[in-house]
Amino acid sequence: MGGSVQEFENHRRWLLAMAYRWVGSTAEAEDIVSEAWIRWHRVSNVRDHSAVLATIVTRLCSDHLKSARVRREKCGAAVLSAPSPDASPTPDGLLERNEEVKLVARRLLERLNPAERGVMVLRHGFEYSYRDVSEVLGIREASCRQLYSRGRARLAVSARRFAAEPAKQAELASRLAAASRAGELRALERLLAADVKI
């Protein structure tokens, strides 16, 4: 017998918020959660409902982002969005969010150079103006616009360009999590700026 209907419904809003962070579209998030519902019924002997549901939705979102149609659209950028207020209502939800941020950090390190990464995180992830991005990173505003466009294109391609060092990935994930959860942006700014200057 599969997972219970009630457990799934108890987690539905959280799953929709998680899927939306990945794909950036309400309609596509709803489709993913509908597919998760089908897969949920195939699961048996569930002990940790939140963890299993998070795994199902995360895998579906990852597969979705790998599809050719999504790569042609602006795939990858939505994963930088801050979580919605009800996205992590449980300790398991917080753990899932941390794992998700680690994946985002790895994707950024593997696909973008330091300048592209800094511009993409600040401009898309935290809605900085190009002028503010320019001031933080020490890059001309016109160059920031070009880097942003280039970064979006590179996030839309699955090819890895760089190796993500574990220590660097952990540090970037930590700064991203603190910035999105508690608004601690200064430490993230310093990290991104330092990478650009290396």
| Sole residue written with tokens 């299993």 | 52
DSSP letters spanning 183-194: --HHHHHHHHHH
Same domain flag for 53 and 135: no
Are residue 92 and residue 33 in the same domain, yes or no?
no
Domain span including residue 2: 1-73
- pLDDT tens digit sequence for 47-80: 777 888 888 888 888 887 776 444 444 433 444 5
pLDDT score of 126: 82
Q: Cβ(110)–Cβ(161) under 8 Å?
A: yes
Instruction: Give 111's Cβ-side CA count (13 Å radius).
Output: 21
Contact call for residues 18 and 87 (beta carbons, < 8 A): yes
Q: How many domains does the chain have?
A: 2
pLDDT tens digits, one per residue of 127-148: 888 899 999 999 999 999 999 8
pLDDT at 69: 47
**CA–CA separation, 131 and 112 (whole Å):** 21
pLDDT tens-digit profile, the chain (198 residues): 456 778 888 888 989 988 888 877 788 888 899 999 988 888 777 677 788 888 888 888 888 777 644 444 443 344 454 444 444 445 555 556 677 788 888 889 999 999 999 999 998 888 888 899 999 999 999 999 999 889 888 887 767 889 989 899 899 988 888 887 767 888 999 999 999 985
Helices 5-23, 91-111: axis angle to 10 degrees equals 30
Pair (39, 93) in one structural domain: no
Q: Domain end: 24, 44, 73, which one?
A: 73
Contact between 136 and 196 (Cβ < 8 Å): no
> Given this model, what pLDDT does residue 104 score?
86
Cα angle value 148/151/154 (rounded, 5°): 155
Residues 31-55 as b or e (16 or more Cβ within 10 Å = b): ebbebbbebbeeeeeeeebbbbbbb
Do 112 and 183 fall within a single domain? yes
